[in-house]
Amino acid sequence: MFVLMTGLSFFLSAASVPGELVAPPKPEIRLAIGDAVEARELLRHATGQPFLSGDHLVAWTEVAGVSWGFLEHVWQHNGVEVARHYLPVGSRRRWRSWSRHLVRAGHYEVHVLAPDGSQLAVQVFDVQPSSMQTPDEDEGCGL
């Protein structure tokens, strides 16, 4: 027997549909630090190259299984909070979000907090002083 299905009936009988809820047993999280975000994906820093003072860095997060609310990216420099970003998430779907920060030389930690305040992830990294020196005054053209 041959069964003919229309596109709509095939779609409705499918086992899953795009955007359907994901219900993992516990929150899934990925946190990475990089240079920029392009097409919602992180552009990673060149392998083996240090982060330098004056760089704009991105903390990129992919999360699933977190209830409605806001994730927090908490940036700490040498143990002191220097930035806190609130990023909306919800309904147990997969979410990608990021925050950006201008870094200075020193030790950094980026913490990701769930809507209930629990810590989901942390990234630790160091930033080196930049080799570029800016003159204290304009040297001019020597006239």
Number of domains in the chain: 1
What is the rounded distance in angstroms from the CA atom of residue 28 to the CA atom of residue 92?
10
Measured between alpha carbons, how far is residue 75 from residues 14, 67, 80, 98 in Å?
43, 23, 8, 12
Per-residue pLDDT band for 18 (boundaries 50, 70, 90) equals low
Check residue 81 and give its pLDDT.
Answer: 96
On whether residue 137 sits in a domain, the answer given is: no
What is the rounded distance in angstroms from the CA atom of residue 61 to the CA atom of residue 102?
18
On whether residue 135 sits in a domain, the answer given is: no
Q: Can you give the residue range of the structural domain that contains 99?
A: 23-128
**Between residues 59 and 135, the one the model is more confident about:** 59
pTM assigned to the model: 0.70
On whether residue 12 sits in a domain, the answer given is: no
On whether residue 29 sits in a domain, the answer given is: yes
**Between residues 7 and 120, the one the model is more confident about:** 120
Per-residue pLDDT band for 53 (boundaries 50, 70, 90) equals very high
Measured between alpha carbons, how far is residue 135 from residues 25, 77, 128, 138, 139 in Å?
56, 26, 19, 7, 8
Q: What CATH number should be reported for the domain holding residue 120? A: 2.60.40.150
Check residue 11 and give its pLDDT.
Answer: 47
pLDDT digits over 61-108, tens only? 988 877 778 889 999 999 999 999 998 887 667 888 889 999 999 999
Check residue 48 and give its pLDDT.
Answer: 75
On whether residue 74 sits in a domain, the answer given is: yes
On whether residue 10 sits in a domain, the answer given is: no
**Between residues 34 and 37, the one the model is more confident about:** 34
Per-residue pLDDT band for 142 (boundaries 50, 70, 90) equals very low
What is the rounded distance in angstroms from the CA atom of residue 72 to the CA atom of residue 122?
11
Check residue 133 and give its pLDDT.
Answer: 46
